[in-house]
Amino acid sequence: MTFSRDFIELSCRKGVLRFGTFVTKAGRVSPYFFNAGLFDDGGSFNDLCGFYAQAILGSGIAFDMLFGPAYKGIPLVAGTAMRLSGKGMNVPFAFNRKEAKDHGEGGMLIGAPLNGRVLVLDDVISAGTSARESVGIIRAHGAELAGLVIALDRMERGQGEVSAVREVEDAYGVPVVPVATLTDLVAYLADTPELEANFAAVQAYRDVYGTHDAIR
């Protein structure tokens, strides 16, 4: 998909995707690192939310509203709702606080009430912790999880032999839609001369930790 490549190009240009030596939460030494928090200006964040909107529209998932888990999901869900509105789809959205507020409107949620089929927006899935917390919040309000949309699927093993993304899909019976995957990243590195030097290291990492069960 063209927008997947455009997303990776933007991520590299902004330094959101960096190459070198990094230790992941799982303790793996990775040759690349993705930090969505570095989409830190209006232009790049507007583009990011546009990519999420394209991924959502292309997925065919039926949903009634969007939910963004604190903290990175908060601006994502607001920005993506705005980009969807610009494409003729006006949907409500909500996000949660990390700590309950005991004054004013109170509670853990801000935005629209959680109703119907809820699509969760987050940056990545690693251990699946954020996904479990989001599902708990959604179900506690009597709503239904419709699926999850993430920026990058690293396509590497989770707790077992399948990917962390597939583990979430199997656990909740819903699709996880990435804006881009490791397959897209490898293809981009292979034909981008200024980044081609990173191709071998990323491919070697994939050979050790990767899984092909999430290829779309």
Alpha helix ranges (H) inside 27-173? 42-59, 73-86, 129-140, 164-172
Active site residue 103: yes
**156, two tokens:** 């590497």
Rounded-to-integer distance, Cα 136 and Cα 121, Å: 15
CB atoms inside a 10 Å sphere around CB 143 = 19
Rounded-to-integer distance, Cα 135 and Cα 118, Å: 9
Annotated catalytic residue, options 14, 98, 103, 141: 103
Annotated catalytic residue, options 14, 87, 101, 212: 101
Place of tokens 């479990």: 132
On the question of a cis peptide bond just before residue 71, with omega within 30 degrees of 0, the verdict is: yes
Alpha helix ranges (H) inside the chain? 2-14, 42-59, 73-86, 129-140, 164-172, 182-190, 199-209
Active site residue 101: yes
Element of type H or E holding 22: strand 17-23
SS3 at position 195? coil
Catalytically active residues, by annotation? 101, 103
